[in-house]
Amino acid sequence: MSFGMAKLLSAGRFRVSAFVIFICYAPSVSRFWFVLGRRKGRQCVHQTTEVVYLIGYDIGSSSIKAAAVEVESGRTVGVVKYPETEMAIHALHPDWAEQDPDDWWNNVCRATRKLLQDYHISPGEVKGIGIAYQMHGLVLVDSEMRPLRPSIIWCDSRAVDIGNDAFEQMGHTACLQSLLNSPGNFTASKLRWVQQNEPELYDQAYKFMLPGDYIALKLTGQALTTASGLSEGILWDFRKNALSEDLLNHYGIDQSLAPSVAPTCGMQGNLSTEAAKLTGLAPGTPVTYRAGDQPNNALSLNTLHPGEVAATGGTSGVVYGVVDKLIYDEGSRVNSFVHVNHEANKPRIGVLLCINGAGIQHSWMKHQVAGNSLGYGEMERLAGSVAVGAEGLSILPFGNGAERMLNNRTVGGHIHHLQFNRHQRPHLFRAALEGVAFAFVYGMNILKEMGLDVNSIRVGNDNLFQSAIFSSTIASLMGSRIEIFDTTGAVGAAKAAGVGAGCYGSLEEALQLASIVGTFEPQPDNGPYLGAYERWEKALEWMLNY
């Protein structure tokens, strides 16, 4: 071994305890090369002087995020967002929401070029690509792989009645036992809407796909999907571990419209020459991971095993717990999907609670009550000057449409027990944060009824959980420890891509370097929190019975 190589290894550049080192000499260039590989066949191969990267995308409805991760250290090299302003959502009719799939693609290309340029990454150094994406959307393409219409995205509710009718006609028990969900307002029901209302377009359809499937198609030229993706569209039969023939037959949808199934984490195609030109990446770069944003968020927080729970508090709020059995809620207040590491003989099911009215209420307080003079940090400080319970003020945050956990009721946002001579802006700020926290607690109690353990919750460092008031309220009422991780969905997608590309031996290895940057513990005296929650819950019950 040369002195330079020994120095490199002793400096910790490479972990050698689990590796075999092969040394080769190339006479033509008078240079030693070596290849590091796991004894069990890991083959993320690179030169001694080369730094190897993975790229992950998060395809949101607001923007596209792209992240680069260095393989050996697991370090996030950089994250970019494109566009800086939010992408447009088009609503031609009330309750509709559509986006042009090629807007996503064009922004993926721009974000990738910016990432490579800003962080001085050579295209040949990228060894794998992962994709996280907005769930439940529908993209229809023709035989030339061109979109036939704008995508019907996750927050479009035109197919609610179609899904409800199918639930009744197919039978609640039959749906829940095979699909683990009501057909609801998900991808399959949206496809049925196109069939019924746009038959000429439907007749031209070659494949239906989810938003992440379309981005993978543009990268590789291959129309594929995943079991995880099909389950989020309510198109997966969990008992048969296959595409749901029962639901497709009920809707009169030909099974040939479904793409072939690829592994969630594994080879899904190689970058085409055309896509390489548009993104700036190297032709042949493998695409090795894709998953919906919420399963991917859970993965990013190393939430992979039964009993582990992840949460996020953005515009809407999500709690996502992993179980090892096929469970469902009789009232369909929560949804069960194939998790990223699910296997037929080793089930990993993600049980998802969604709260539409979450961060959007905090944002409304910022823009309509705080105004331009106060930032979120100052709102938090003012809210902290008020005792737990906001001196009797309660706010319901359900002003962002129908809430599935409330049996699809549209309750609206409400302020209860406001006293003009007593309550001021700090009370409103505190009651707004507590109101969202109480909604999380209400939903988590549904998960507890289903047998999920919520004693420990993992969250990211970029949403409502940054608020000590919000997080302490949940921790104290649930008796839970909240761990804050420094990661994002795009970073998680990049690391998962490293498993599919052979750079890591497992998802656990890929995610082990995620760092905890903060924690919230339950307060020893939760009496004030409990009293405030009980007042809030009574206000909710009054509204539900109104």
Q: With pLDDT > 90 as the criterion, what percentage of the chain qualifies? A: 81
- Judge if the upstream peptide bond of residue 83 is cis by omega within 30 degrees of 0: yes
What whole-number distance in Å separates Cα of residue 106 and Cα of residue 99?
13
| pLDDT of res. 44 | 64
The pLDDT of residue 38:
38
> Which is more confidently placed, 373 or 9?
373
Residue 511 burial class via C-beta count within 10 angstroms: exposed 0-12, middle 13-18, buried 19 and up: buried
Mean pLDDT of 270-275: 98
Mean of the per-residue pLDDT values of the chain: 90
pLDDT (0 to 100) of residue 176: 96
Name the E strands within 297-345: 309-313, 317-323, 335-338
| pLDDT (tens digit per residue) in 169-211 | 999 999 999 999 999 999 999 999 999 999 999 999 999 999 9
The percentage of residues in the chain with a pLDDT greater than 70, rounded to a whole number, is 91
Distance of CA 199 to the CA centre of its chain: 32
Residue 19 has pLDDT above 60, yes or no: no
Taking residues 501-512, report their average pLDDT.
95
Angstrom distance (rounded) from CA 188 to CA 366: 37
Q: What is the pLDDT of residue 20?
A: 36
Residue owning tokens 């760092």: 515
Please report which helix (H) or strand (E) contains residue 250, including its range.
helix 245-251
- Give the count of beta carbons closer than 10 Å to the beta carbon of residue 115: 27
Map tokens 């066949």 to a residue: 41
Q: What is the pLDDT of residue 524?
A: 93
CA-to-CA distance for 117 and 428, rounded, in angstroms?
A: 45
Cβ(158)–Cβ(137) below 8 Å: no
Note the pLDDT of residue 466: 93
pLDDT interval class at 315 (50, 70, 90): confident
Per-residue pLDDT tens over the stretch 436-494: 999 999 999 999 999 998 999 999 887 899 999 999 999 999 999 999 999 999 999 99
Model pTM score = 0.86
Predicted local confidence at residue 118, as pLDDT: 98
CA angle at 320 for the pair 319 and 321, rounded to the nearest 5° = 120
Task: Please state, in angstroms and rounded to a whole number, the distance separating the CA atoms of residues 146 and 129.
Answer: 22
Give the three-state DSSP class for 115.
helix
Give the pLDDT score at 180: 96
| pLDDT, position 27 | 33
The torsion angles phi and psi of 419, rounded to 5 degrees, stand at -120, 120
Higher local confidence (pLDDT), 410 or 271: 271
| Distance (Å, whole) CA 169 – CA 247 | 11
Ordered structural domains, the chain, with CATH: 3-38 (no CATH), 53-301 (3.30.420.40), 355-486+517-544 (3.30.420.40)
Residues sharing a CB contact under 8 Å with residue 442, sequence separation 6 or more, in sequence order: 405, 537, 540
- Say what the pLDDT of residue 11 is: 38
Report whether 234 contacts 328 (CB < 8 A). Answer: no
Residue pair 90/99 in contact by the 8 Å Cβ criterion = yes
Q: What is the pLDDT of residue 16?
A: 36
- The residue type found at 280 is G
